């Protein structure tokens, strides 16, 4: 009965007709790789609140953003995350996918020292070193291009991943130095498509057997390669903690490994999210700052 009431309440919200009766519209948008564009276009056509599945609504107002993502207060209860949406297929949930408020708060507290003003000031030289190297490389690449220029989107990705690699693992990916996209970044781009499968399989259990075939074989393989590379990077970082703890504790992973409560699976999942979130946002900000 509660589900029937919920569905009846949602019928008053506009949206694609297919989305009102099945999740196929959402699945198509999700698996196309252009989910944000699908949702953006739906809002442009139907308004601020759009029905994107039989039991799901999408909001794009400032108030809704605050209600959903703002930290809870004494007068506002926490907005519970949807376990289906926050599903990356891992057997564990870490900061980016954790839906339990208590566990999420513990992980945030564990990470907080790495983002304190004192710690960030100590890491300033890392950022300056890679920015200086980046500027030099851009100059040499531009000169060697004979007027063709440099793909700044890729170049900013090199910079972002090198900085986050150093801040997370105490070792960069060497992309700026080599002036080319690192293997880990390359497999991430393709593998990210396969990472969308778990959430959709959770939404559409009847299609679980065929959904994997809607993703390219290379995407599935690259997701596995990406995980394997990250796992090896985590193991190397743990060894560094054991062999040179003074150097190791200076990065983001130091306090987390030192705490000792996260197993390897959790550390790998955490590392994937941290590097991707940090590098991609850094690239976006840099591109926005340099765009004419």
Go through the domains of the chain in sequence order and give each one's CATH number.
Answer: 2-79 (no CATH), 111-290 (1.10.630.10)
Write the pLDDT tens digit of every residue in 150-195: 888 888 889 988 998 888 888 888 999 998 888 887 777 666 667 7
DSSP β-bridge partners for residue 58 = 50
The residues near 249 (Cβ < 8 Å, ≥ 6 apart) are 241, 255, 258
Find out whether 200 and 31 touch, Cβ atoms under 8 Å.
yes
Give the mean pLDDT of 74-81: 80
Question: What's the rounded Cα separation, in Å, for the pair 97 and 82?
Answer: 10
pLDDT, one tens digit per residue, over 101-134 is: 888 888 888 888 888 888 888 889 999 999 999 9
pLDDT (0 to 100) of residue 102: 84
What does the alpha-carbon distance between residue 153 and residue 226 come to, in Å, rounded to a whole number? 21
Predicted pLDDT of residue 5: 46
Strands 49-53 and 56-59: antiparallel
């Amino acid at each position: 009965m509660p589900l029937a009431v919920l569905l009846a309440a949602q019928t008053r919200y506009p949206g694609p007709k297919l989305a009102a009766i099945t999740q196929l519209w959402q699945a198509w948008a999700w698996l196309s790789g252009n989910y944000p564009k699908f949702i953006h276009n739906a809002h442009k056509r139907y308004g601020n609140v759009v029905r994107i599945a039989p039991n799901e609504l999408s909001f794009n107002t400032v108030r809704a953003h605050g209600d959903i993502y703002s930290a809870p207060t004494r007068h506002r209860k926490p907005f519970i995350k949807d376990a289906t949406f926050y599903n990356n297929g891992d057997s564990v949930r870490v900061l980016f996918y954790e839906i339990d408020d208590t566990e999420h708060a513990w992980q945030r507290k564990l990470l907080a020292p790495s983002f304190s003003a004192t710690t960030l000031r100590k890491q300033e030289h890392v950022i300056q070193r890679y920015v200086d190297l980046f500027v030099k490389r851009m100059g040499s690449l531009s000169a060697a291009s004979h007027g063709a220029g440099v793909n700044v989107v890729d170049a900013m990705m090199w910079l972002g991943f090198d900085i986050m690699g150093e801040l997370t693992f105490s070792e960069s990916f060497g992309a700026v130095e080599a002036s080319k996209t690192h293997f880990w970044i390359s497999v991430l781009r393709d593998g990210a498509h396969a990472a969308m499968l778990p959430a959709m399989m959770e939404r559409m259990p009847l299609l679980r057997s065929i959904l994997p075939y809607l993703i390219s074989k290379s995407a599935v393989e690259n997701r596995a390669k990406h995980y394997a590379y990250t796992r090896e990077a985590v193991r190397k970082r743990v060894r560094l903690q054991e062999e040179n703890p003074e150097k190791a504790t200076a990065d983001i992973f130091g306090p987390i490994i030192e705490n000792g409560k996260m197993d390897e699976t959790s550390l790998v999942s955490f590392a994937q999210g941290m590097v991707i979130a940090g590098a991609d946002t850094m690239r976006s900000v840099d591109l926005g700052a340099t765009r004419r």
